Amino acid sequence: MKKTFLIVFCLVMASQSGFGQVGLWTKFSLEKELFKKLDFEVTGQYRVNEFGSNEERWIGEAGLIYDLPKGFELEAFYRYVSNIKTNSTKVYHRFHADLKYGKKINSFIKVENRLRYQHQYKDDQEDGLVDDSSYLRNKFGLEFDTQSRFKPAIAADLFYELGGGLDQVRYSAELGYKLNKRNKIEVGFLIDDALKSTQKNQYRIALSYSIKL
């Protein structure tokens, strides 16, 4: 029963969306311990925000993860983004820092919180690097221990644009499966709830594969 509730939740969210604008996000990541409590991670991502569109996004990311006491974790990452359309390519550079916290409140539920600051630059051919956006994000989630290799989770991620206010909430439901000690796959469904009338809600299927070396 614990393993099936996530599937039902995803179907409910999908039915609410009507699949008006569904995309696909894929991710592959490698994580390696450098020193005690300090890991290095690199990821590659391919994203299509809407099936059938002429826009795609390639992402490369690298950063450090430091394990703090009492369930806290600190991360710092750089992201390279190539946003490709039929006749143009736009390049962005993003830096973000995360403070994470996780704690099991009982044998089944783990509470997680991630506070993120991110700043993004646009690589302009004429003006060089130009400020594009700055956000504070707060992600609250619940992870469920099914006493098996399956691990479902749900979360809500709030996007607060500095100087612009709260403009988006990203809801997610994911199911992770641990293949072995070092390999894990995840599948999920995301909803970007746009809070401004000029933006559209977006719906995405998420697939990821991670390896811990």
For residue 102, give the CATH number of its domain: 2.40.160.40
The pLDDT, as a whole number, for residue 52 is: 79
Pairing of strands 183-194, 165-178: antiparallel
- DSSP at 125: T
The pLDDT, as a whole number, for residue 65 is: 98
The pLDDT, as a whole number, for residue 1 is: 45
Considering Cα of 187, then 193, then 199, then 201, what sign does the dihedral take? positive
Q: How many domains does the chain have?
A: 1
Domain extent, residue 20, equals: 5-212
For 39-57, the pLDDT digits (tens) are 999 999 999 988 878 889 9
Do 174 and 188 form a contact (C-beta atoms < 8 A)? yes
Q: For the beta carbon of residue 25, count every other beta carbon within 10 angstroms.
A: 18
Query: What are the tokens at 60?
Result: 């490369």
| Torsion angle of the four alpha carbons 195, 201, 205, 206, in this order, in degrees rounded to the nearest 10 | -30
Contacts by 61-64, CB closer than 8 A, 24 or more apart: 64/34, 64/38, 64/39, 64/40
Q: Which residues of the chain register pLDDT less than 50?
A: 1-4, 6-8, 11-12, 14-17
The pLDDT, as a whole number, for residue 196 is: 80
The pLDDT, as a whole number, for residue 4 is: 46
Q: What is the CA 157 to chain-centroid distance, rounded? A: 9
For 139-173, the pLDDT digits (tens) are 999 999 999 999 999 999 999 999 989 999 999 99
Phi, psi of 55 (to 5 degrees): -120, 135
